Amino acid sequence: MSHLLVWFVLFSMPYVLSYGQEQEINRIIAHFWIPLIFYAIVFYLNYFVLIDRFLFVKETSLFIIINVVVIIIFLLLKEYIESTLFQDFIGKAPKDNDGNGPPFKMFIYVQMLSYMAPLLFSIAIKTTKRWVKTEAERKEAANFQLKSELQHLHYQLQPHFFFNSLNNIYSLVDVSPEQAKTSIHSLSKLMRYMLYETNMELVPLSKEIDFMEKYIELMKLRVSDKTEVSYHFPSEESGIQIAPLLFISLIENAFKHGVSATKESKIEINMTCNHKTVVFSIENDNFPKKTSDKSGSGIGLQNLEKRLALLYPNKYNFETTVTDNRFLVTLKIETT
């Protein structure tokens, strides 16, 4: 449609430019419409055939030769049509350097240049369309790669979470069988959420909070009275949508490295929401595990940082500090 509009405007130009003047249809045909038809042929011949067939496959020399031949043919054909059909309206052809007209070589040179406009215009449009298509394909490929990597990280997190939870429950089997049963029941609810409700890109923050609260209560079953666990989450519905399972690795890490079997310890978990910004923090005592301790593979925090970089580029801040043997983690996410 846009092509038809452009050519309609070009073919109407003689009438627009000579409005109110006496017009000769044969002169308009000879001087405007015939060259425009040849320009259109040059444009579409390159647009649909030559650019794809030769220019884009690096056969530039052949592309130039074909266009030069086509332009020369059209120049000769134009001269023939004008000399046989419109000689009375256009006068004699330009003469060489004898004072009766512009030099013939100059005339041919100008005519050749006039054909460069549709040729270059077709190259510009075709190149732009190709670039737009390539850019769209690149973005689609990047988006597919992003989704694949996120899916891989998501699936990697599930068994990591499951195995850690099983290790915790295993430690309860001999000490407190009833608590072990309760833990297994709680774990089944948590796994149901992980398997069936976290496959979407975003979930309501309220569901994540409910998941974390259940997990914290599950973890509290295995710690002794020497460990104090407190947490505070927003109680009101914020309407915030967030990527699932971003905070669970931090909570796991706090229970793994912030609890001692013989010493008193304290874990404090807090979350605040300000408009569309979520701030999550955990502070716990620092009891680093020995290298021989295989209770966790250490992929949790690595997984989290990779997911944050993919999901919230330049929209998150992740900090960890150790002060007075207290480990503090702060994660700030702009969800807009």
pLDDT tens across 24-37, in order?
A: 555 656 567 788 88
Q: Is the pLDDT of residue 18 over 70?
A: no
Q: CA 203, CA 254: separation in Å to the nearest integer?
A: 24
Given a contact cutoff of 8 angstroms between Cβ atoms, the answer to whether 218 and 162 are in contact is no
Measured between its terminal Cα atoms, the distance across the chain in Å is: 39
pLDDT, average across residues 65-79: 88
- pLDDT at site 20: 46
Taken in order of first residue, the domains within the chain and their CATH numbers are 2-114 (no CATH), 148-334 (3.30.565.10)
Given a contact cutoff of 8 angstroms between Cβ atoms, the answer to whether 188 and 203 are in contact is no
The residue ranking higher by pLDDT, 92 or 116, is 116
Q: Is the pLDDT of residue 11 over 90?
A: no
Q: Is the pLDDT of residue 22 over 50?
A: no
DSSP 289: P
Q: CA 181, CA 173: separation in Å to the nearest integer?
A: 8
Nearest alpha carbon to residue 253 among 285, 300, 220? 300
DSSP string, 142-171: HHHHHHHHHHHHHHHHHHHHHHHHHHHHHH
pLDDT, average across residues 192-198: 78
Q: CA 336, CA 334: separation in Å to the nearest integer?
A: 6
Confidence grade of residue 127 (pLDDT, cut at 50, 70, 90): very high
- pLDDT at site 111: 72
pLDDT, average across residues 61-76: 90
